[in-house]
């Protein structure tokens, strides 16, 4: 966990970024993120999640194309 109770841990940041991808977020977490979060953590994890999403999407498309025989 984090050393300051108000500061979100890296796991809390990851959950917040994932919730942002889904479009859901608790109001308390939203307030905590903006008041105590470090922007570089959200930017880094956001870019990482986008890269993972793109790789999964490309993989699924390539699988579907190969199964279609094209």
Is the pLDDT reported for residue 4 higher than 80? no
Q: Residues near 17 by Cβ (< 8 Å), separated by ≥ 6? A: 42, 45, 46, 49
Q: Is the dihedral of CA 8, 11, 12, 13 positive or negative?
A: positive
Is the pLDDT reported for residue 2 higher than 70? no
Is the pLDDT reported for residue 52 higher than 90? yes
> Who has greater pLDDT, 51 or 33?
51
Q: What are phi and psi of 2, to 5 degrees?
A: -90, 160
Is the pLDDT reported for residue 5 higher than 70? no
Q: What is the pTM of this model?
A: 0.76
Q: Where are the domains of the chain?
A: 10-68
């Amino acid at each position: 966990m984090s050393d300051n109770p108000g500061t979100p841990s890296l796991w809390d940041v990851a959950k917040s970024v994932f919730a942002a991808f889904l479009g859901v977020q608790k109001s308390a977490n939203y307030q905590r993120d903006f008041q105590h979060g470090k922007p570089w953590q959200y930017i880094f994890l956001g870019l990482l999640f986008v890269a993972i999403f793109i790789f999964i999407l490309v993989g699924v498309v390539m699988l579907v194309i190969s199964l279609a025989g094209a």
